Structure 1
Amino acid sequence: MAFSILPGLFLPLVMLAVAAFIPLFIKSKKSKTNPLLPVEWPLVGMLPGIVASLRSHVAAAGDNWYDILTSALVASGHTLKVRGPLASSMNFFVTCDPVNIRHMYTSNFANYPKGEGFAEIFDIVEGSFLTADGENWRWHRDIGRQALARPELLAYLACCWRDKVEEGLLPLLSHAAGTGAMINMEDLFGRLVFDLTTTLVFGVDPCCLSAGMPPMPAALPAFDAIMEVAFVRHTMPASVWKALRWLKVGPERKLAEAQRLIHGFVLDMIKKNMVQERGTAAPVDLLSFFTANYSDLCVDHQTGEPSKVLHATLIAYMIAGRDTVGTTLPWLLYNLAKNPHVVAGIRRELAPIAAARARRQQDDDALMVFEAQETKALVYLHAAMFESMRLYPPILYERKSVLADDVLPSGHQVRARDVILISLYAMGRVESVWGKDHREYRPERWLSVDGCSLLHVPSHKFLVFNSGPRMCLGKEMSIAQVKTIVAAVVWNYDIELVEGHVVQPKLSASMQMKNGLMMAVKRRGM
């Protein structure tokens, strides 16, 4: 049986070999129509040039592949066609044009589903709300809306955020400040958000962020691997990565191990959820909600084990919570460290709250922790967060398939089964939307003239929380979580980037940092 697969592997492996070796000999060959695009070669299309530019990103510190793509999009009028190898799945449009995005996400939403290709690439969450389309997606979304809108859940999470910041994050920062140790804030925030997201989904705190910084659980980097390999799958024909998966080599071997670890983690958390002691109040975590209200979703009736749909759904919620807040926090702190005047503005906004709190507490030297309700109305902090997400969006791209032939508002004709990639990174750098200072970090662009309220920016121009019918259900929850955490950090500590440390995006589907975020922390003198 295995030998019958070999003829089907021959062409993909030849294409992979060609794509791997041609970039060694062509490094600067560019398209004649757009010099920022790689040249289109016979048989293999633009794939060699794409691979060459990705190799450059990996090898050279400070060389940002996403900026190269952004420049190519700008030079092409914000939409371009990428052609891959002959008869491959790599012929797609890339766009950052807001009018195209409004068309796909709102005006003609039904014609632009996620598609089967997206579900294959993110196969670990296939069947969940992240990959579903049509009626299946509407069913998942209705369940998600019910689960996330419960007041008791929001109150529970606000307490979790506060306790984790007070008992986990701030003591670790104080220790680093006292010893003068450099600290990787991306790792610290990654642990914090992993704990908080696991608590939301399973009602169990894995205690990754605690005194002594315990060894990182294997599931945490495994989630990073999911996003890294998803990016790799987008850069090669589907037949190639499927061949690598079959052979269990390269990034697919790494992905298989990551998936094994994550499924084991989910099973472990389900067991802990079932046996943990309950208080007088009913549990409000997502798993408990699903098992109480949608038992058919949760159990495979043939085996009696947790169903594949339940696994995919729980992992999807872990990704949705962890990869958004977990990437937003370090990039926001990075931007704040580079812009001390913004930190001063946030502190001025926090000062009245801190003063009122100080009058009620006896210890003048105590660390200040803010409640979610206290930070809700802070517009400058909100603007600082959105401005960071504009420049460094948590998820770097969205993918849409085309059901029926259509013409985009930009004038580009798309055919049924075409694939469209939306670059959120490039969207934040469109001069016609954000102005000539679009590359600058300036929270004021989000504020009214008097600075007292946030300006409305349509979601088709600022896509970090999605747009149209698929708008993120956890948007307000994520905003509140980030504001609560950042308020405590910037009020209690001065933060500085370690000199010489290079901060650069990793090649991933989410905005991970390639080298982490090394910072020096000092206790702030009040």
Structure 2
Amino acid sequence: MNSRADMTSISALTVATITAFLAWKYPDRAVFREHRLGLIDLEGTPLLGNLPSMVQNIDRFYDYLTEHYERLNTLTFRTTRIFMPNMIHTTDPKNIEHILKNNFEGYIKGPSFDYMMHELLGKGIFNSDGDRWKMQRKTASRIFHVKNFRDQFTSVFVNEINLASREIFDKAAVSGEIIDFHDIMLRFTMDSFAELGFGVALNSLLKRAEFADSFDALQSHAFNRFVVPGIDAYETAKHYLTYWSKTKSIKQHLETVDVFAENLIKQRRQEEAAAKLAGVESEKQDLLSRFMRETYANGETLDDVDLRDTILNFIIAGRDTTAQALTWTFYQLMLYPEVQAKVYAEVEQFISKEVEADPARLYSVIQNMVYSHAVFFEVLRLYPSVPGNQKEAVKDDVWPDGTRILKGDYVSWQPYCQGRSTKIWGVDAKEFKPERWISEEDGSLVRASPFQWSAFNAGPRVCLGQNLAILEALVAILLMVKRYKFQQAPGHKVEILNLITLSMKDGLKITVEKREP
């Protein structure tokens, strides 16, 4: 039995036990849900609310929500779960704009989100609010400027793709072996971001790091916390029940991740100390160095715990999101060979050997490749790297659609569900159609509202690395399509794995064929 099946069965037993106890202890109580005029409630069971159906559908959670949006013919509804906050879900672009921009101060991450994510993210940028968040965002924003994109960033991405080509794809093309494209993309983005963000060469393309497995396990645990009460107790029990199999516990995964971050910090502090001893000022401008030099309003510098949180938050941003987007992109290119052929034709038109060898020229040329951008944007519409998000209301509010929000309510919006909504994108919403991003009038690239296409969030918390992610993804897509033809391995089934990001349960198994030069 796999771990997900174990988790579902044990969670069901836990739910049944809790239900029996509460029915005996509090026979007159059910999940609290006050009536609000005009708000649609998803029907559930007495006492437990929607928890049983959510546990049953945990492996397809966002498809489960999408089906209810469509079945109820609504853009907003509410769910309930015993021992968990009631949640008001929405895909309405006007509501999302209200939450993320117009009433930005009215919604925070809140204690529930912090509890779910604290072990992994600590007090980092994704898990914080207020002054702490503002300081981290201001510091991080200084690295994302045009000159870096044009020169250093593009060069790093090209070098890492060249390494993947030599060490992985070329060899697979010769041997005919089946390789896991998803795993390769996670290692590619990890190496790229480690160099840009932390100034270190991890070389995980050559050997998968233990850190990556633990990082993914912690993400999976954090996602399960959002859905299933008692998951921490389950994980503890599972660890002791499978102790002799040497399966890592969540605590052990956390230790692995912490050691990884601590080693990065220790190495950088030693470098900074050596530079100071030599009487020279460090010239490192990566994210880690910038945060080491940053101070809070009271003049204190960030301690090692703060820096650890910074590292892990930006690994999710820099490694996971782009890797997932790249994997889903090539999955679509393999499903639709005619789309892959069009991307290849555009590559042949724009990217010569001379352009490929010049990072500044490559950066400029990519900006004009409309169809390739359209393909990537369409992938993010259907497979957004962060499929869902939530916040807590700090005061009463009324949304543009009339939904009444009370202080303490938890609200959620899901880019995954939004991209599949026929009420937003039309009857062909679930179709992969890159042409929807290209103007019929002049052939230019069409940009949707960030509140309708919220793959990169929106408002004051819009993704700082949006342009970085698009550049990295397009460099990888275009150079790989230029060099290879990819095919999905026979019999391999692609399924979603819900982490904090939209992953693949069993990877993306492929075969590679080199194109004629």
**TM tier, shorter chain?**
0.7 to 0.9
Gap change, CA 1:92 and 1:515, over 3 Å in 2: same
Q: CA deviation at 1:177?
A: 0.5
3-state SS in 1 of match to 2:143: helix
Q: What is the match of residue 192 of structure 2?
A: 196
Q: Does 1:284 align with 2:285?
A: yes
Q: CA–CA distance in 2 between the matches of 1:19 and 1:486?
A: 50
Deviations 1:183-242 (A, max 9, x none): 1100111111111122222211110113xxx2x2111112212221111001124xx346
Gap change, CA 1:487 and 1:112, over 3 Å in 2: same
3-state SS in 2 of match to 1:503: coil
Q: CA deviation at 1:84?
A: 1.1
Q: What is the match of residue 82 of structure 1?
A: 79
Q: What is the match of residue 381 of structure 2?
A: 390
Given the two structures, how large is their TM-score scaled by the length of structure 2? Answer: 0.84
The one-letter amino acid of 1:443's match is P
3-state SS in 2 of match to 1:91: strand
Gap change, CA 1:415 and 1:407, over 3 Å in 2: same
Q: Does 1:477 align with 2:481?
A: no
Q: CA deviation at 1:391?
A: 0.6
Of 89, 107, 113 in structure 2, the residue corresponding to residue 112 of structure 1 is 107
3-state SS in 2 of match to 1:400: strand
Q: What is the match of residue 430 of structure 2?
A: 439
3-state SS in 2 of match to 1:500: coil
Of 320, 325, 344 in structure 1, the residue corresponding to residue 322 of structure 2 is 325
Q: CA deviation at 1:385?
A: 0.5
Q: What is the match of residue 448 of structure 2?
A: 457
Q: What is the match of residue 227 of structure 1?
A: 219
Q: Does 1:40 align with 2:67?
A: no
Of 354, 365, 371 in structure 1, the residue corresponding to residue 351 of structure 2 is 354
Q: CA–CA distance in 2 between the matches of 1:294 and 1:313?
A: 14
Q: What is the match of residue 61 of structure 1?
A: none
Residues 370 and 487 of structure 1 are in contact (CA less than 8 Å); yes or no, is this contact kept in structure 2?
A: no
Gap change, CA 1:283 and 1:369, over 3 Å in 2: closer
Residues 194 and 208 of structure 1 are in contact (CA less than 8 Å); yes or no, is this contact kept in structure 2?
A: yes
3-state SS in 1 of match to 2:283: coil
Q: What is the match of residue 126 of structure 2?
A: 130
3-state SS in 1 of match to 2:81: coil
Q: CA–CA distance in 1 between the matches of 2:300 and 2:376?
A: 36
The one-letter amino acid of 1:17's match is T
Q: CA–CA distance in 1 between the matches of 2:495 and 2:478?
A: 25
Q: What is the match of residue 55 of structure 2?
A: 51
Residues 235 and 249 of structure 2 are in contact (CA less than 8 Å); yes or no, is this contact kept in structure 1?
A: no
Of 178, 183, 189 in structure 2, the residue corresponding to residue 182 of structure 1 is 178
Q: What is the match of residue 513 of structure 1?
A: 504
Given the two structures, how large is their TM-score scaled by the length of structure 1? Answer: 0.82
Q: Does 1:267 align with 2:259?
A: no
Range moving further from structure 2, 36-45 or 137-146: 36-45
CA RMSD of aligned residues (A): 3.2
Gap change, CA 1:310 and 1:13, over 3 Å in 2: farther
Q: CA–CA distance in 1 between the matches of 2:483 and 2:20?
A: 50
Q: Does 1:258 align with 2:253?
A: yes
Matches within 5 A, 1:332-411: 332-355=329-352, 357=354, 371-411=362-402
Deviations 1:125-155 (A, max 9, x none): 2322111112322222211212333734763
Residues 89 and 412 of structure 2 are in contact (CA less than 8 Å); yes or no, is this contact kept in structure 1?
A: yes
Q: What is the match of residue 17 of structure 1?
A: 17
The one-letter amino acid of 1:219's match is F
Gap change, CA 1:245 and 1:515, over 3 Å in 2: closer
The one-letter amino acid of 1:157's match is F
Residues 154 and 360 of structure 2 are in contact (CA less than 8 Å); yes or no, is this contact kept in structure 1?
A: no
Q: CA deviation at 1:269?
A: 1.6
Q: Structure 2: which 5+ residue stretches go unaligned?
A: 1-11, 22-39
Matches within 5 A, 1:478-493: 478-493=469-484
The one-letter amino acid of 2:342's match is G
Gap change, CA 1:412 and 1:146, over 3 Å in 2: same
Q: CA–CA distance in 2 between the matches of 1:254 and 1:413?
A: 42
The one-letter amino acid of 1:349's match is E
Of 151, 154, 158 in structure 2, the residue corresponding to residue 155 of structure 1 is 151
The one-letter amino acid of 1:448's match is S
Q: CA–CA distance in 2 between the matches of 1:495 and 1:475?
A: 27
Q: Does 1:428 align with 2:419?
A: yes
Q: CA deviation at 1:52?
A: 2.1
Q: CA–CA distance in 1 between the matches of 2:318 and 2:335?
A: 26
Q: CA–CA distance in 2 between the matches of 1:299 and 1:50?
A: 40
Q: Does 1:207 align with 2:234?
A: no
Q: CA–CA distance in 1 between the matches of 2:371 and 2:446?
A: 11
Q: What is the match of residue 8 of structure 1?
A: none
The one-letter amino acid of 2:122's match is E
Gap change, CA 1:457 and 1:285, over 3 Å in 2: same
Q: CA–CA distance in 2 between the matches of 1:206 and 1:335?
A: 29
Q: CA–CA distance in 2 between the matches of 1:495 and 1:109?
A: 44
Q: What is the match of residue 28 of structure 2?
A: none
Deviations 1:471-514 (A, max 9, x none): 11111111000000111110111111112211110132211101
Q: CA–CA distance in 2 between the matches of 1:518 and 1:298?
A: 45
Residues 218 and 250 of structure 2 are in contact (CA less than 8 Å); yes or no, is this contact kept in structure 1?
A: yes
Count of equivalent residues? 473
Q: CA–CA distance in 1 between the matches of 2:356 and 2:331?
A: 32
Residues 179 and 509 of structure 2 are in contact (CA less than 8 Å); yes or no, is this contact kept in structure 1?
A: yes
Instruction: Report percent identity of matched pairs.
Output: 27
Q: CA deviation at 1:353?
A: 3.2
Residues 355 and 362 of structure 2 are in contact (CA less than 8 Å); yes or no, is this contact kept in structure 1?
A: no
Q: CA–CA distance in 2 between the matches of 1:403 and 1:148?
A: 31
Residues 139 and 294 of structure 2 are in contact (CA less than 8 Å); yes or no, is this contact kept in structure 1?
A: no
Residues 351 and 365 of structure 2 are in contact (CA less than 8 Å); yes or no, is this contact kept in structure 1?
A: no
Deviations 1:37-75 (A, max 9, x none): 975223222212221233xx4xxxxxx443222010122
Q: CA–CA distance in 2 between the matches of 1:310 and 1:358?
A: 38
Q: CA–CA distance in 1 between the matches of 2:442 and 2:19?
A: 52
Of 60, 63, 66 in structure 1, the residue corresponding to residue 62 of structure 2 is 66
The one-letter amino acid of 1:119's match is D
3-state SS in 2 of match to 1:495: strand
Q: What is the match of residue 37 of structure 2?
A: none
Q: CA–CA distance in 1 between the matches of 2:19 and 2:239?
A: 17
